[in-house]
Amino acid sequence: MWERIIESMTKNRSKLRSGIVSVLLGLIFSLLILEAGLRLGGWFFFQLQEHRNKLSIRREGTYRILCLGDSMTAVGGETSYPRQLEKVLNQRSNAAEFSVINKGAPGVDSGFIMRHLEDNLNKYAPDMVIVMMGCTDTGAILPYGDIPVDQKIPLKTFKLARILWNRLIKNRREEKSLSPVEYDRPPGDDLPSAPPPPDSVDVAPEMVEEPQPKYRKYVELGMFYLDREEFEKAEEILNKAIEINQINDAACAILTRYYKERGEYDKVEAVYNKAIRLNPKNDRNYIHLGWIYRDQDKTDQALEMFKKAIEVNPENGGAYASLSYCYEERGEKKLAEEYSRKAKRLRPEYYNPLTRRHYQELKETVIRKGIKLVCVQYPMLNLQPLKDILKPYQDIIFVGNERLFKEAILRGRCDEFFADMFAGNYGHCTPKGNRLLAENIADSILRQYFKESSPAPAPPAE
């Protein structure tokens, strides 16, 4: 009998070992496939961007402009603001022929831009640099020469695992305590006052713990399938990303953009309602849903969502600004002014010490090399805080977009100009929004530097 028992145990151990080996091999194989997919998505995006840049600089004797920034600069392909800026400048100017280089990178912070600044200046030898950066800075004081640990390890699957683990830890902490002493900022608020998105592709910032924000890597894969028009795969992967990471603003934004392009607004509402159920502490999802309601003339529901966002995060200036716009549309001027004042009181804090330092160092580097500098403020944000951190600024061209975009949205629909509202009261631009941005930048450059008057009406003063 004992012989049979020992023989049975030996066979079971052998089966167990075989099973463990099979599971490990399967896991390794799955990780290899995921790694290959993530790398292919990033490679595809940057190869396409670099191809467009080479076409722009191939022409000799042009006035060369280098555009630096995050996804607000990078995303859009032929309809991105740098591509449209080149067309607008060449249509309107008699002073020069222009070539515009787009070196925006989705999801990067100002530290990434500074680490690559010298290389970009040496490689492209621009006559002018245009920069719009800062909305993805988390507030961590990290010198741009220091490389975070997830950049030292080249595996993108490692970065994905690290992001999801950090988010899981953060969610557990938030469940235990919401003490303002323990946390730098209210839960769900990943950016100083107005939020916005791997080394490639589109959309939102990462968590507070991350010194170098990265996109959710599943989002890269979803974007890759969208670019290839494999919509069912993209939809499946982006929905999985939302399930895995309950504060995955990137997946929500891309998925709802896809639905909006198809006119499926019921699905757009469903995505954000699902995201709110999964994590009611993420104030940005209330703002996204509020603007969806606003564009469908459901003003009461929009106001309710913006107020819920403030309940979750009383420091979210974008929510106050959104309320101001809605009340202004309804003709309730007193309430509109009240919420506008609250929004402006919060907005100047948008530039944290990290962003300020990187802007100042970029200014010194660019001007020292004899290159003209143009600093562009994000749509809907006030220009003055940006000007304040760059004093003295005698040789800098500033471009404000607050009133221009605000008036455009009050005349029409928000989703005519913004594909999402990741930052509260602005987001990634549609082709039409990028056109408005490009025309305003072109007008400022031609008037302030080339002393040419634009054939288009000048934008309102900020």
Which residues, 6+ apart, have CB-to-CB distance to 171 below 8 Å? 246, 247, 279
Structure tokens at 286: 């209330």
CA distances from 337 to 61, 193, 396 (A): 50, 19, 31
Contacts of 240 (CB under 8 A, 6+ apart): 218
Q: Which residue in 56, 42, 90, 48 sits closest to 454, CA to CA?
A: 90
C-beta of residue 318 within 8 angstroms of C-beta of residue 195: yes
Among 75-79, 246-250, 262-266, 318-322, the minimum mean pLDDT is found in 246-250
More confident residue, 343 or 417: 417
Confidence of residue 169 (pLDDT cuts 50, 70, 90): very low
Those residues whose C-beta lies under 8 Å from the C-beta of residue 145, and which sit 6 or more positions away, are 115
Least confident of 275-289, 306-320, 341-355, 408-422: 341-355
Quote the pLDDT of residue 452: 76
Cα separation, 369 vs 380, whole angstroms: 31
pLDDT at 208: 30
Q: Where are the domains of the chain?
A: 38-138+352-416+429-448
Reduced to 3 DSSP states, what percent helix, strand and coil does the chain have, rounded to the nearest 5?
60, 5, 35
**Residue 438's pLDDT band (boundaries 50, 70, 90)?**
very high
Residue 450 has what DSSP assignment? S
Can you tell me which residue has the tokens 């019921």?
266
Note the helical H segments in 58-77: 71-74
**What are 274-309's pLDDT values in tens digits?**
888 888 888 888 998 999 898 888 999 999 999 999
Range of 114-123, 212-221, 248-257 with top mean pLDDT: 114-123
Of residues 287 and 186, more confidence is placed in 287
List the beta bridge partners of residue 102: 67
431: cis peptide before it, omega within 30°?
Answer: no
pTM assigned to the model: 0.63
Kindly tell me if the per-residue pLDDT of 39 is higher than 70. Answer: no
Average pLDDT over residues 198-202: 35
Q: Which CATH superfamily is domain 38-138+352-416+429-448 in?
A: SGNH hydrolase (3.40.50.1110)
For residue 342, what are the CA distances in angstroms to 120, 193, 324, 349, 409? 39, 12, 9, 12, 20
Gap between the Cα atoms of 355 and 209, Å rounded: 17
β strands within 133-266, DSSP E: none
Selection from 219, 71, 277 nearest residue 269 by Cα: 277
CB 86 within 8 A of CB 100: yes
Q: In terms of residues, how long is the chain?
A: 462
Using a 10 angstrom Cβ sphere, with 0-12 exposed, 13-18 middle and 19 or more buried, the burial of residue 25 is exposed
